Amino acid sequence: MDWDVIESPIFYNRPVEGPFGEVTPQYLEDPEYKRLIATDDGKPVGPPYAPSYTPSSVAKFWEVINKGMGDTPYKIVSAGSVDDRCKIFASIQTTEGFMVGDREFKDYVTILDSFDKSCSLTALYSNVCVVCANTFASALQSGKVVGKAKHTLMLDVNIQRLIDAIDSFVGTSAYFKQLLQRAHETPCTRDEAHAWFTGLECRNAEHLTNGIRQKTARMAELFSGGRGNEGLTRLDAFSGLTEFYTRESSRSSDNQSYSSEFGTAAQTKRFVVDNFEKTWDKFRKEGEALLSA
C-alpha cells in the first residue's frame, strides 16, 4: 500500500445573499467533525468522525506489525484494501504450517483495520488448506486478552494488547492442528455430515427451507467429492463446509472473494471453527430431526 490517510477539516457551503440579490458562497468549517482523505488522490476515506474517535493510519498499521513481530522472521503474504479503502489488511506468515493426514495447512496472522468504524484494529488467526485452498479464520488463542485495539484516545495502549495477542500465534497454530487432527481421526458418514450441515444452517431459521435443503445437499456432495475429501471423517465434513463458503456461497466471483474473507461467509466459517467440537452433536441431532420431519 503506497498511500496513507490524513485528517482533513470539513467545510459546508452556506450561500449568502448580498444587498442587491447576488449570492456569494461562504464556506464554514465544521467546529468538531473531521474526515480522512487519501494522500495519493485526495478522495475521502470513510465517514466523518467526532473528536472522541481517534482514527488509525496505514503507517500505524505497519508499525503495529513491525513491533508485534519483533525479532520473529516473517513474510507478508498479501496486503491491500477493500470497501473503497475503508478496510485494510495484511496476512503474515511466520511458520511452514502443519500436516493433518495427507492435507497440508498453511496458517497466518491476519491484521485488519478500518477507517469507517466497521472494525477495530484486530489480529486474527487465518488458515488455508493447500490441497483445496479453503480458508477459515478465528481469534487468536490468548486467554481472555482479545487481539483488538479500539479506536480511542488510548490507541497506543491498546496496540500493546494487540502485540501481545500476535505473540500467541504459535499456541493458536498448535491448537488448530490438534483440532483438525481429532476431526481427521473421527469417522463420519455422509448421512451424519448432511444432518450436521442441516442443523448448522437452520440455527437461525424457523424451519427447513428449500434453499437450505439445496445448500446442505451441495455440502454433502463436497463432503464426499470436494477437493481432497474422501467422505469418511469429520474433517471431510469441515472441509466440505469451508469449501462451500470459500467458493460457492455467492453468485458472483467478486462477491464470493469478499464474502469468503471479510463478509458473511467469513463469519459463518469463523462460527463453525470456534464451535466445531462443542456443537457437533447438537447440530447433528437437530439436523436429523429436521430431515426426518
pLDDT means over runs of 10, the chain (293 residues): 95 86 89 96 95 88 80 87 92 89 89 86 84 73 46 61 71 90 97 97 89 95 93 96 92 83 89 94 96 88
* Residues facing 126 on adjacent strands: 108, 137
State residue 143's pLDDT score: 34
pLDDT at 144: 32
> Cell for 58?
496505514
**Rounded to whole angstroms, how far apart are CA atoms 115 and 87?**
6
Domain boundaries, the chain: 5-49, 58-181, 186-292
Burial class (CB in 10 A: 0-12, 13-18, 19+), 95: middle
Q: How far apart are CA 124 and CA 147, in angstroms?
A: 7
Q: What is the pTM of this model?
A: 0.78
pLDDT recorded at residue 151: 59
Query: Quick one: the chain helix, strand, coil %, rounded to 5?
Result: 40, 30, 30
Q: Across-strand partners of 87? A: 82, 114
C-alpha distances in Å from residue 35, one per residue of 9, 53, 84: 7, 11, 15
Task: State the CB neighbour count (10 A cutoff) for residue 252.
Answer: 9
DSSP 144: B
Say if residues 284 and 199 touch (Cβ distance below 8 Å). yes
Euclidean distance between CA atoms 234 and 185, whole angstroms: 8
Q: CA 200, CA 223: separation in Å to the nearest integer?
A: 15
C-alpha cell, 25: 458562497
Cell numbers linked to 91: 496476512
Give me 27's grid cell: 464556506
For residue 140, the model assigns a pLDDT of 61
Tell me the C-alpha distance between 163 and 172, whole Å: 15
Predicted local confidence at residue 111, as pLDDT = 85
